[in-house]
Amino acid sequence: MLKRVVVTGIGVVTPVGNSLEEFWRNLTGGVSGVGPITRFDTEGYSSKIAAEVKNFNPTDFIDRKEARRMDRFTHYAVAATTMAVENAALDMTKINRERAGVILGSGVGGLETLEDQHRVLMERGPGRVSPLFIPMMISNMGAGRVAINFGLRGCNVTTTSACASSSNAVGDAFRLIQRGQADVMITGGTEAPVTPLAVAGFCSMKALSTRNDNPAGASRPFDAGRDGFIIGEGAVILILEEMEHALARGANILAEITGYGASCDAYHITAPDPEGAGAALSMRLALEDAGLAPQDADYINAHGTSTPLGDKLETLAIKEVFGEHAARLAVSSTKSMTGHLLGAAGGLEAAVCVLAIDRGEIPPTINLDTPDPECDLDYVPNVARRADVKVALTNSFGFGGHNATLVFERFVRERN
């Protein structure tokens, strides 16, 4: 029999807050985390804005010497995990650490280290490249460092599926516990892509918003004036536990994860399927996995990146799956405030679903001033909404055609 899996803790390092309360207060308050890029000179860049993490000091969580041996994406992962473990009141000395593991998503890993060391190679030669270059740069090191810090000897994996990475990570962690192979999993995503090369690459693709004179208004999912996404950074970690394990230690259960669907568009390296078929399949599979009908859903945290094509096709896919119920669903994109955390976006948005269920409030889609006629669902425009959310879904879609959907439900001890 499949085990039930619950969420007992969340930790965040994000553009809108580095504590759970600050994060939720800003999201429900409609506060944008977007501003001018401060990490490098943006002269010559078409997009000069990003959703950067602010007021973060890695040595609040990591020994100073060890912090120097980590890329920024690993700093974020370790810090967010430390906060998630504390939020879950999880005593690592009292669990079976052979049955506790880590699955994190990251799309690009230690890109900042890669760029820095390439500069060293070009300017000073191969003998000056750091011996720590490889272990700082490789994308699995966020998960590896988290396991080392907490002594977790169970499954340790990093998923890389572009912007679906951490939704796949959460889904895979869910499956491990569901099948009885783990009691506790640390999961979510981490990303630090606000670097000269990454931003230049997205600028060359014309994927980023160029609303440089109005950073806070630049990410505007589903709005007729949207012109591209805002690159973001950070980490969000969830603690998943087997239900009986959580109950036995008296954990505060925030929500239950009940469904996971994954699909591929098999269409194009960057463009979504023009019929939204892959996205629709992902949602349909997740609902079936959870044993739910479309009309059971209350809220969808949309992928909603603020790109002209993506938002329209996600709307189309939602209508395809939910039919007449689509008009009654609350759908919002928190990327309007956080920007797009790439491989960490799914972890962040999974946490939003959990909190919407736990706290009875749906964050808004800000900057939705002139609705696109082709985007005609209830996107919770500009103001948060109190709501009785029993079932919430989150969508993540990535370059390469990767799609992932997660389903969370309010926890009820006895299910029918």
Task: Check: CB of residue 20 under 8 Å from CB of residue 354.
Answer: no
| pLDDT, tens digit, 9 for 90 and up, residues 358-413 | 999 999 999 999 999 999 999 999 999 999 999 999 999 999 999 999 999 999 99
- Residue 346 inside a domain? The answer is yes
Whether the per-residue pLDDT at 9 is higher than 80: the answer is: yes
Residue 167 shares a structural domain with residue 313? no
Residue 263 shares a structural domain with residue 243? no
Whether the per-residue pLDDT at 416 is higher than 70: the answer is: no
* pLDDT band with cut points at 50, 70 and 90 for residue 415: confident
Residue 225 shares a structural domain with residue 324? no
Residue 175 shares a structural domain with residue 50? yes
Task: Check: CB of residue 193 under 8 Å from CB of residue 342.
Answer: yes
Domain housing 320: 259-409
Residue 363 shares a structural domain with residue 333? yes
Burial class (CB in 10 A: 0-12, 13-18, 19+), 122: exposed
Q: Which residues are catalytic?
A: 163
| pLDDT, tens digit, 9 for 90 and up, residues 16-60 | 999 999 999 999 999 999 999 999 999 999 999 999 999 999 999
The DSSP result for 6-49, as a single string, is EEEEEEEEBTTBSSHHHHHHHHHTT----EE--SS--TT-S--E
Task: Check: CB of residue 245 under 8 Å from CB of residue 91.
Answer: no
Residue 219 shares a structural domain with residue 280? no
Instruction: For the beta carbon of residue 2, count every other beta carbon within 10 angstroms.
Output: 9
Q: What is the dihedral of CA 242, 234, 341, 118, to 10 degrees?
A: -120
Residue 264 shares a structural domain with residue 234? no
Give, as one character, the DSSP assignment of residue 4. Answer: P
> First CA to last CA across the chain, in angstroms?
15
139: which residues sit within 8 A by CB, 6+ positions away? Answer: 106, 107, 108, 109, 110, 158, 160
pTM: 0.97
The mean pLDDT of 248-257, rounded to a whole number, is 98
Helix or strand run (H / E) with residue 301: strand 299-301
Tokens, residue 115:
């760029």
- Residue 254 inside a domain? The answer is no
Task: Check: CB of residue 407 under 8 Å from CB of residue 257.
Answer: yes
Tell me which residue has tokens 């600028």. 203
Query: How far is it, in rounded angstroms, from Cα 226 to Cα 193?
Result: 22
Query: How far is it, in rounded angstroms, from Cα 145 to Cα 114?
Result: 18
Task: Check: CB of residue 153 under 8 Å from CB of residue 102.
Answer: no
CATH number of domain containing 395? 3.40.47.10
* Single residue among 215, 248, 281 that ends a domain in this structure: 248
- Residue 415 inside a domain? The answer is no
- Using CA atoms, how far residue 308 sits from 228, 229, 315, 331, 334, in Å, is 7, 9, 12, 17, 17
Residue 80 shares a structural domain with residue 56? yes
263: which residues sit within 8 A by CB, 6+ positions away? Answer: 278, 279, 281, 282, 285, 403
| pLDDT, tens digit, 9 for 90 and up, residues 164-220 | 999 999 999 999 999 999 999 999 999 999 999 999 999 999 999 999 999 999 999
The mean pLDDT of 333-342, rounded to a whole number, is 98
Instruction: For the beta carbon of residue 244, count every other beta carbon within 10 angstroms.
Output: 11
Query: How far is it, in rounded angstroms, from Cα 227 to Cα 241?
Result: 40
Q: Residue 317 phi/psi, 5° resolution?
A: -65, -40
Task: Check: CB of residue 400 under 8 Å from CB of residue 161.
Answer: yes
Tell me what pLDDT residue 239 has: 98
Tell me what pLDDT residue 281 has: 98
Residue 11 shares a structural domain with residue 133? yes
Query: How far is it, in rounded angstroms, from Cα 58 to Cα 413?
Result: 38
Tell me what pLDDT residue 67 has: 97
- Residue 414 inside a domain? The answer is no
Residue 239 shares a structural domain with residue 369? no
Q: What is the dihedral of CA 76, 352, 25, 62, to 10 degrees?
A: -20
- Residue 291 inside a domain? The answer is yes
* Single residue among 248, 279, 311 that ends a domain in this structure: 248
Query: How far is it, in rounded angstroms, from Cα 238 to Cα 12?
Result: 9
- Residue 138 inside a domain? The answer is yes
Query: How far is it, in rounded angstroms, from Cα 216 to Cα 50?
Result: 10
303, 244, 240, 295: which is closest to 272 by C-alpha? 303
Tell me what pLDDT residue 136 has: 98
Task: Check: CB of residue 110 under 8 Å from CB of residue 193.
Answer: no
Instruction: For the beta carbon of residue 1, count every other beta carbon within 10 angstroms.
Output: 5
Residue 268 shares a structural domain with residue 232? no
Whether the per-residue pLDDT at 346 is higher than 70: the answer is: yes
- Residue 416 inside a domain? The answer is no
Tell me what pLDDT residue 2 has: 97
Burial class (CB in 10 A: 0-12, 13-18, 19+), 134: middle
Q: Going by DSSP bridges, is the β-strand pair 5-13/255-264 parallel, antiparallel, or unpaired?
A: antiparallel
Q: What are the DSSP E strand ranges found in 65-133? A: 100-105
* Single residue among 214, 248, 282 that ends a domain in this structure: 248
Residue 215 shares a structural domain with residue 326? no
Domains held by the chain: number: 2
- Residue 253 inside a domain? The answer is no
Task: Check: CB of residue 387 under 8 Å from CB of residue 332.
Answer: no
Task: Check: CB of residue 306 under 8 Å from CB of residue 220.
Answer: yes
Burial class (CB in 10 A: 0-12, 13-18, 19+), 35: middle
> Residue 291: what residue type?
G
